[in-house]
Chains A and B, each alone.
Chain A
Amino acid sequence: MTSAFELILCLMILGTACVALFMRDFLAAVAFFVVFGNLMGLAWLTLGAVNVALAEIAIGAGVTGVLLVLSRSRLLALGEEISCGPAKPWLRLGAAAACSVFTAVLAAAVLSIAPDDGLAPVIDGLMPLIGVENPVTGVLLAFRAYDTLLESFVLLGALVAIWSLAAPAAWPRAPAALRMTDPAALNVAGSFGRLLLPVALVMAAYLVWVGSDDPGGAFQGGTVLAGGFLFAAMGGAIGLPRSDNSALRWSLVAGPLVFLAIGLAGAALGRFLAYPEGTAKALIVTIEYSLALSIGVTLALLVAGPPATTETGL
């Protein structure tokens, strides 16, 4: 029963991936990509990785999907077709052959690795030291906090990179508005956005809070926050900030900054990113809250794109 379910799930994942890649209509392709992401989330659930499932559905399917749809509509507005543009037949054939061989080798390699829970016992042994229950949070914010610290800077850097793309005249304006142009639609979306934003705030706070013991955490919470912001912006409930807005700047750097400061405080007391005994959980929660705020704002602005001269919405 379980096996059959997993088999069907995997087939559906592959099928949706195919459609998402090769469908002629790009909007439909993105729709299938979102479905694909949700199915991936299901797969992660099946694997018992609830944290990853949340992240995959929220970020992998949700944010990425919104990004792709938004880019599509911006490109269409500029008159650019997102063609399926098949390459030359010989290239296609060659690519297909090469990719098949590669996949076969990869599959063989994968088959020769036995699945096991590897470091789970080690992690279980270390968890009492930091006082949180969710082992994934433990890895992300304690045992491999360095990865996460750098990653938070990658996210921040991505936003700066997008800002750097702004046309010379656009700096430091706000990104192109996300609000809907049709007044009636704006009305509908606006009322939903106004309702959603506070709920998203609460949700995010909750997800971060439970993240230390149960599935959840800064990334998942931050994404929910970003979703709230984005919907509110589409509905015109909130406007997009100018990029030189100092409150915005502070909220963008809050997470990385707090993380870095706590890491350096650890270094001053002994070791970089080490938490003094007994303070681990408190510090982790502090980091997670500030990270969630920054991630939420950053993700929303990542989707919104670079500062623009145009005021047109969707």
Chain B
Amino acid sequence: MMTAVPLALVLLPLIPAIISFALPERLAGWRNAANLFVALIKVLIVADLLRQVRSGVDLEWRYTILPGHDFLLRVDTLALLFVSLSVFLWLVTTIYAIGYFGRGPNLARFFGFFNLCVLAATGVALSGTAVTFFLFYELLTLATWPLVVHNGDEKSLRAGRIYLAYTLAGSAAFLVGILWLKTLVGSIEFTAPPDLSAVPPLTLTLIFVLCVGGLGVKAALVPFHGWLPAAMAAPAPVSALLHAVAVVKAGAFGIVRMIYDVYGIGTVAELGLGPPLAALASFTILYGSLRAVMQTEIKKRLAYSTVSQVSYIVLGASLVGPFAVIGGLVHLVHQGIMKITLFLCAGALSNRLGIKAVADLDGAGRRMPVTMAAFSIGALGMIGVPPVAGFISKWYLGIGGLQSDASWVVAVLAGSSLLNAAYFLPMLYRAWLLPPPEQAAFRELGTASDRMLVLPAVVTAAASLAAGVFASSSFSPLTWAKLIAEMGYLK
């Protein structure tokens, strides 16, 4: 059904973006209100879409930008998985950002580009063709760059340079890949995978390497992960956004699309592309965790943890078995809510208590108990402790690995969980069990601004707990991932 709803959903953030750019700083209240209002509206629209798509409605909006290249926005189950994650976390992050920044400099710019990022991420999710995907993928790069350099110091400028170098090179590779494929098989629509039978396998493999390599940059696959830790120079809401939702997920999401909607699992299996990718993902999982153990700075540790965790999604996709797919897809959501919890907490700690290094965490649990509680839930989920959401993902991935005759996956998962524990547990230990350096009085939820800083993390922590506990309910990410798998990939 041709409808402008997808377009409206994508373009909606333009309104607060323009308002943010245009309003002077003294009207910051209006700006915040506009941001929150539109974020709420988006959540409502997406809720309605979830209902519609579940009942089998197919919504799309199409516009020919160039001959043979359609701009197509399409609401399908996989898209909605990503969209609902984005809109939910965006609402949360918006509230958090208002509390985090208070009245700092350059906030108009921050909120303006923040909204453009929402726009781009929603667009990435809803893209129905490879070219549309590329457009939003590139727009995402552009919109996040000003956020990365937001602080304006030498460190963030350097981070911005590195970020652009990696991501632009990556999207160039991706562009070459999809154009190459397009010249061979015609337009690439995700709903109707092209017929690849006439293309020589070597060419297909090369194109796959180009595309997945390009997407892997944003998904922070080793060896393309270098930008992610550097980007830690950005303020916490940005890191949360980059690491949990927008950028890395866009990359992982793109890889899922490539495997399932462009090549199709049959072709991927035929070409033997799954195992090498799975191996690379596994290596990234272990490498990221190892590096995380070695970090002394909280945000850096979380960054390497992201490098590791995002590859679970890639791993799930590349194993091409039903359970593995479900595991990968559900981890897209689970990792998002868990990791954003961790970043929101880390931001709150550094913003209010000035805690940046792991060693400073001593007694943090007593100083900011609510925050640290949320942090702990997120951390346990990352390790894979039941009943937090992370366990569900790892469980499905493990079974998927066994199903696909790749029992080594289980070993990878176990090893990764051990390493996760090795870098998260000491943090929890310090926070809860060691005494704080001096007993400074601090009321965590004193002001409205404080509450806006802390409560979002509580909400996401609760969500990650709920996603695990109620995994079998009909509204859980797991159920939705199963629905995707049933409707799309396992026919």
Is chain B in direct contact with chain A in the complex (CB below 8 A)?
A: no
Chain B residues in the interface with A (C-beta under 8 A): none
